[in-house]
Amino acid sequence: MSNKLTIGLFGFGVVGQGLHDIIRTKDLNLEIKKIAIKNPEKKRSLSPELFTTDASVILNDPEINTVVELINDTEAAFQIVSTALKNGKNVVSASKKMIALHLEELIHIQEEYGTSLLYEGAVCGSIPIIRNLEEYYDNELLYSVRGIFNGSSNYILSKIFNENLDYGTALKQAQDLGFAETDPISDVGGFDPKYKLVIAASHAYGIITRPEEVLNIGIQTLSSKDIQYAREKNYKIKLVPTALEFGERQVVLYVIPKLIHSADFLYNVENEYNGVIVQAAFADQQFFFGKGAGGHPTGSAVLSDIAALRYGYKYEYKKYRTNRGFVQSNDYTLNVYLRYDDESVIERLGFKEITERFYAPDFKYVIGKIELSNLIANQEFLNNDGVFIAEIVQ
Ligand SMILES: NC(=O)C1=CN([C@@H]2O[C@H](COP(=O)(O)OP(=O)(O)OC[C@H]3O[C@@H](n4cnc5c(N)ncnc54)[C@H](OP(=O)(O)O)[C@@H]3O)[C@@H](O)[C@H]2O)C=CC1
Ligand SMILES: N[C@@H](CC=O)C(=O)O
């Protein structure tokens, strides 16, 4: 491909503008030729001639060799990205939901048309985790990948724990700072970190998982009682996606709040920062830390992908293609804290074992072991008021 990148940018919101800010500070031998947006009435900080609402102006322009997709509409993003790849353009995207939902198809399109799709900014903002999982870690030696993959929920939890802010105020701040998704239930309900986990697991283990088959329980039902419990036991609560190998090449994926002890690297990951712990057979634990949301941190990851396209970089999906027999499995048991209102909840969830019970008129909880499949069967129920569940790692 030509050394000079001529870019068609889709989206000029938090991340699109963040990327543009970064690009204009440096002489990078690249040009943003056109920017596609949705609302022609919105006031823009750049010349009106640069903008279009017609996607085909970019997608059919033979001079544009690189498409950068940073929009907040999943289905439109898939149409744009797949058409651009089929039209011979390389693409950078930060749309994690779109990528997680369409990963297998996107891999095949890249293969068929010889084009490249990079998406480092889609997983943990500024942290270069995808290229590391893809290139550095052999899946034979990789035990687990877990961490804080969502800046908004971590921001909310930090503000609640460290500054006693109420949930609604903290969420509003995360939205005002540009961290939250258009519908913030995606963040606080654990959907956004689940999409990121699905993408990370494909590069870690070579397995492509359908997001709807992965448990996501969020922080939206957190109450003052859970915070009191965590504080008394010297825990912090964090929303943690986990991909972990167990048994014979089985990989379990799930997203759930976790009670985190001070010895855990994630304990000190605060606000919009993310942290990823990779556990490998001989390297033991390695910790990646950086801003996981916001225009400039995400823009920096997008720019790194743009720069990688200059030298023809592609994900080879080696682990997926060689298929070394890793399979996703939900045959896994978690140790959990469950705060509940109604006694029938305990029976409904079918605990394997209960090791602790606390009972007061205004606060009831149990600690015990439960099958992941039971949590999946009750996922909707567990995201409703009256219950809060969190994993406790023993
Ligand atoms: N915010 C963050 O910290 C991060 C966000 N992401 C992801 O990056 C993407 C963009 O997020 P963010 O910048 O926050 O979103 P914003 O809501 O700030 O901006 C979205 C932009 O997309 C444009 N847009 C929407 N639909 C279309 C369409 N069909 N064609 C062209 N433009 C369109 C909007 O146009 P208009 O201006 O006219 O409304 C707007 O400029 C999302 O997928 C998000 O999940 C990833 C990592 C971090
Ligand atoms: N809403 C997301 C944005 C980045 O991916 C988050 O809060 O992490």
Q: Is the CB of 66 under 6 A from ligand 2?
A: no
Angle among Cα 165, 375, 381 to the nearest 5 degrees reads 60
Residue type, 304: S
Q: Which amino acid is at 234?
A: N
Quick one: which ligand is closest to 81's CA? 1
Give the pair of three-digit tokens for residue 258: 């976790």
> Which is catalytic among the residues 196, 236, 258, 319?
196
Average pLDDT over residues 290-317: 97
Ligand 1 shell residues, CB under 6 Å: 10-16, 36-39, 42, 70-73, 76, 94-96, 121-122, 125, 178-179, 181-182, 293-294, 298
ipTM over 0.90: yes
Best residue for ligand 1 mutational test, from 35, 58, 71 (most atoms within 8 Å of Cβ): 71
Which residue's C-alpha comes closest to atom 1 of ligand 2?
Answer: 180
pLDDT digits (tens, 9 = 90+) for 114-123: 999 999 999 9
Q: How far is the CA of 180 from the centre of ligand 2 (A)?
A: 6
AA identity, residue 152: S
pLDDT at 1: 43
pLDDT at 34: 98
Residue 260 identity: I
What six digits make up the tokens of 201?
A: 């697991």
Task: Identify the nearest ligand to the CA of 182 by its number.
Answer: 1
> Pick from 33, 242, 71, 56: which is nearest to 149 by CA?
242
Nearest residue to 152 (alpha-carbon basis) of 123, 121, 193, 120: 193
Atom of ligand 2 nearest to the CA of 186: 1
**pLDDT at residue 394 is higher than 80:** no
How many Å lie between the centroid of ligand 2 and the Cα of residue 151?
Answer: 5
Å from CA of 53 to ligand 1 middle: 14
Identify whether 38 is a catalytic site residue.
no
* 209-222 residue pLDDT tens: 999 999 999 999 99
Question: Among 70, 194, 271, which is best to mutate for testing ligand 1, by the most ligand atoms less than 8 A from CB?
Answer: 70
Q: pLDDT digits over 56-72, tens only?
A: 999 999 999 999 999 99
Q: Tell me the CA–centroid distance for residue 150 and ligand 1, in Å.
A: 16
User: What is the position in ligand 2's atom list of the atom closest to the CA of 123?
Assistant: 5
Whether residue 140 has pLDDT greater than 90: no
Helix or strand run (H / E) with residue 260: strand 250-261
Q: What is the pTM of this model?
A: 0.98
Cα angle 115-107-293, degrees, rounded to a multiple of 5: 90
Helix and strand counts by DSSP (H, E) for the chain: 15, 17
**Is the pLDDT at 336 greater than 70, yes or no?**
yes
CA distances from 274 to 153, 231, 307, 324, 331 (A): 10, 22, 23, 30, 28
What domains are there in the chain, each with its CATH number? 5-118 (3.40.50.720), 138-291+325-392 (3.30.360.10)
Residues 6+ apart with CB under 8 A from 370: 333, 334, 336, 349, 350, 351, 352
Candidates 93, 77, 74, 106; CA nearest to 202 is 106
Which atom of ligand 2 has the smallest separation from the CA of 292? 8
Distance CA 347, CA 278 (A): 36
Q: Which ligand is nearest to the CA of 100?
A: 1
